[in-house]
Amino acid sequence: MNDPRLESQKKAPSADPRPTPTTHHGIVIQDDYAWLKAANWREVLEDASSLPPDIRAHLEKENRYADTILAPLAPLIEELRRELGARVEDEDATAPISAGAYRYYRRWRSGAQHPCLVRRPRAGGEEELLVDGEALAQGRAFFQLGPASHSPDHRLLAYAVDESGAEFFTIRVRDLEARRDLSDQVPNARADAILNLHGDPAVFANDGKSFLYAKLDANHRARSIWRHRIGTSAAEDQLVLEETTPGWFVSVHRERDGRHATIAVRDHETSEVFILDLERTDARPQLVAKREIGVRYEVEVGRERLFIRANRDGAEDFKIVETELAAPSPANWRDVVPHRRGVMVLRHAIFARHLVWLSQENGLPRLTVKALAGGEEHSIAFDEEAFALSLDAGEEFDMDSLRFTLSTPARPAETYDYDMVSRERVLVKRQLIPSGHDPNDYVVRRVFAPASDGEAIPVTLLYRRGLALDGSAPCLLHGYGAYGSPVLPNFLAHRLSLVDRGVIYALAHVRGGSEKGWRWYTQGKRKEKENSFSDYLAVARMLIGERFTAAGRIVANGRSAGGMLMGVAANRAPELFAGIVTEVPFVDVLATMLDPDLPLTPSEWPEWGNPLLSEDDFRTILAYSPLENIKPRHYPAVLAIAAVADPRVTYWEPAKWVAKLRANSLSGRPVLLRTEMSGGHMGAPGRFDRLAEFALTHAFALWACGLAPVAET
């Protein structure tokens, strides 16, 4: 624990301070490390080799230093890597999705990092290899096989690939009969897995001769929808819809009725939707409801009717309404699922004979089915104290079956097909742990921490059965708290490597998420962002007070916007934490929100505020922005992970943060930065490479809280 190789800062890199003052609203901010932001950052996103030499030299020096400091943990890192790998099915496949005459799925061969796209005839027959992701990845420093879409006649497949990590996807088109790619190459498409929750990489017209896609502009923003005709150059693509307001982005989705596509246009607080007829390539997008600031809605097309999840008319936690496709305006909306405060409707799906929706109350999800004829409703019951539930509506409309996936922090994921008429569920896929796993060896609990304003903050705990709860156990405390995204109490096998070594794994469901309804989100954004930070610290203090753990035994953990939470926690209560582990941390909030040219900045203003225009927003962000609030303190040990090609949290944010932290830390504890020189926001795309990243961060966390002996060298 006190090994000098891990605690000494004598040989740590020191970034050259180059003071750069800026003035906004009469307030002067000095940034000593602004030079770490490459002037050619757009070029760097697409080609990491274009990083200026002085910046590259600094990042490589940081990587070498981190490797040196972490070298004594190499045996533990390797042990963890093998352990994590043993929990992964070597030959694995996703649950197949039925579409017409086929079932489509992804499959991993033995030892493969990347999946194959495959299908099998629905009536039975041999599996057909469509795209070999492992073969495409050979010889590339970075490769990600993104989502794919098949044409209605199943003769073509549009699939997306990213070869830089910057999420500039290229859509390729494969002729599935000839088993070869066509000449079509559509660059700069938006097709990442995050967006794919709301959109598709390509939406084919019903004649299969063209497809729609969302295109990224020079600032990495999806602000337009284009039509590409098969067999033509992307330079000839036709503009279908363009959003000109900064901060708004677009996506396109094929509706399961088989006739329509929807184009969603949104920012973080407002949305509008257009409908396109896929039978007519000359059809103009039809607006459903004109945008109104603060009104969000999402559309499902049920042939001649629309079913809409919306927060209009004071429906803070959303309701579901219906209207005729021919008369979509809000004046014609009729409530189908009325608003209930505190019961948040998360998403919905329409089938030929049923409406289904996923809701959440006090952090617990629920699936409800409503028969369109007669209106009878029933909920699908789950007997778990804390669990995660997802709804997958599939691709088909005229069916009585829905699919859902259920897991808990202790119980691996199970995917079911559920018959909405008979109410029977059939297990489709169970996540297997080859090395062995008994959920009964673990305890999952939901507890609550009191906030200073009287709110009860939900906390999910996972620990080994029989663990002494006397304050001696270390704890990893994970948090996020932004965009209304809940922290899910799902099963992630890598957590077991910490829990099996005596760590309590805690999920803090702080404000800024939506675990307790939409107000839980709005009370954790902009002027009320302080609630996210105070909630997280309240959870830490509750865990200490209830003797789950002790001060100085907690490792704080959060990625991306959750990294902001980590930066604030380090500044405000460093004595509570043994260490901080954060991936792609959003820690330079003020400078990022002051730069309208960065990829996400305009779209982020509704979330954090616009400090360019508002002095109040400037002062609000300045009061908590992690970088600006560093000062001489006894900081805990820190490991920050970054990526040069990250378009969401740019590499220079964690680089600047680590440089300033190290210059101000009085504790002598290591402050480390590891930057992936060819990679992006979501980490390594290869399934085993990702496990190596977990092995590194887990080893650091175990060392920080005193559970990792240092090997002799």
Instruction: Measure the CA–CA gap between 229 and 212, rounded to whole angstroms.
Output: 9
Residue 617 annotated in active site? no
| Amino acid identity for residue 317 in this structure | D
Tokens of 410: 């202790």
- Which of 58, 253, 494, 681 is catalytic? The answer is 681
Instruction: Measure the CA–CA gap between 472 and 503, rounded to whole angstroms.
Output: 10
Nearest alpha-carbon partner for 645 in 49, 221, 45: 45
CB 160 within 8 A of CB 146: yes
DSSP-derived pairing of the beta strands 305-310 and 297-302: antiparallel
Nearest alpha-carbon partner for 220 in 347, 374, 63, 43: 43
Burial class (CB in 10 A: 0-12, 13-18, 19+), 625: buried
β-pair partners for 350: 355
- Which of 149, 164, 401, 560 is catalytic? The answer is 560
Instruction: Measure the CA–CA gap between 90 and 110, rounded to whole angstroms.
Output: 5
CB 513 within 8 A of CB 520: yes
Phi, psi of 244 (to 5 degrees): -100, -10
> If you search the block for the tokens 């030499």, which residue do you land on?
53
CB 520 within 8 A of CB 440: no
Residue 595's Cβ-side half-sphere holds a number of Cα atoms within 13 Å equal to 18
Residue 646 annotated in active site? yes
Instruction: Measure the CA–CA gap between 166 and 680, rounded to whole angstroms.
Output: 5
Instruction: Measure the CA–CA gap between 103 and 97, rounded to whole angstroms.
Output: 5
Tokens of 71: 């070298």
β-pair partners for 266: 249, 271
Residue 560 annotated in active site? yes
- Which of 253, 257, 646, 665 is catalytic? The answer is 646
Instruction: Measure the CA–CA gap between 316 and 308, rounded to whole angstroms.
Output: 15
Instruction: Measure the CA–CA gap between 79 and 77, rounded to whole angstroms.
Output: 5
3-state SS assignment for residue 125: coil
CA distance to 138, 571, 645, 654, per residue, from 658 (Å): 34, 13, 18, 6
Phi, psi of 607 (to 5 degrees): -85, -45
Tokens of 451: 């906030």
Instruction: Measure the CA–CA gap between 176 and 179, rounded to whole angstroms.
Output: 5
| Cα angle, residue 383 at apex, residues 380 and 387 outer, rounded to 5° | 90
Q: Which DSSP string do the residues of 455-494 spell out, in sequence order?
A: -EEEEEEEEETT---SS-S-EEEEE---TTPPPP----GG
Tokens of 155: 């003769």
3-state SS assignment for residue 321: strand
Just list the catalytic residues: 560, 646, 681
